[in-house]
């Protein structure tokens, strides 16, 4: 497995686990049965941090849709450079930071983490087109 695929796997795992804390909060705030039910407009609101993590999770999924194909394209082209490895690792750490900062409600640093992840994706696109 290439290092890029390793970082993709870790990013997929992170994204796949982000729902757990906000669902635990939902069970705590609304009760287990209500957490298992379909959300309704009159439901008790979740904790603010849990709602922010919910949005961070949605954002992580949206960005995974871009990141994963880029890594898979690089792998299919047999392209692996120090820049692609660093970009993939950077993307993972940026997404982790984004989720934590979003849940904590830290606006400016959250945006910086998002932009770092975006720049990592740009590096991967450039590597695909052999600009790097």
Could you tell me if residue 42 is inside a domain? no
Distance CA 123, CA 4 (A): 13
Could you tell me if residue 39 is inside a domain? no
Cβ-Cβ contacts under 8 Å for 118 (sequence gap 6 or more): none
Q: What is the pLDDT of residue 131?
A: 87
CA 83, 1, 15, 129: dihedral to nearest 10 degrees? 40
pTM listed for this prediction: 0.95
Could you tell me if residue 92 is inside a domain? yes
Could you tell me if residue 112 is inside a domain? yes
Phi, psi of 70 (to 5 degrees): -60, -45
Distance CA 3, CA 9 (A): 10
Could you tell me if residue 90 is inside a domain? yes
pLDDT (mean) for 106-117 = 98
Containing structural domain, residue 109: 3-17+48-128
Could you tell me if residue 13 is inside a domain? yes
Number of domains in the chain: 1
Q: What is the pLDDT of residue 21?
A: 97
Could you tell me if residue 38 is inside a domain? no
Q: For 59-107, what is each residue's pLDDT tens digit?
A: 999 999 999 999 999 999 999 999 999 999 999 999 999 999 999 999 9
Cβ-Cβ contacts under 8 Å for 47 (sequence gap 6 or more): 25, 29
Could you tell me if residue 56 is inside a domain? yes
């Amino acid at each position: 497995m290439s290092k890029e695929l390793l970082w993709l796997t870790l990013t997929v795992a992170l994204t796949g686990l982000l729902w757990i804390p906000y669902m635990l909060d939902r069970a705590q705030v609304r009760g287990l049965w209500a957490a298992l039910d379909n959300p309704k407009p009159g439901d008790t609101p979740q904790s603010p941090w849990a709602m922010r993590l919910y949005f961070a999770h949605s954002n992580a999924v949206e960005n995974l849709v871009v990141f994963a194909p880029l890594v898979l394209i690089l792998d299919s082209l047999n392209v692996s450079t120090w820049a692609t490895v660093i970009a993939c690792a950077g993307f993972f750490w940026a997404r982790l930071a984004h989720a934590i900062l979003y849940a904590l409600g830290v606006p400016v640093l959250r945006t910086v983490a998002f932009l770092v992840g975006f720049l990592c994706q740009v590096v991967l696109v450039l590597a695909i087109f052999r600009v790097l």
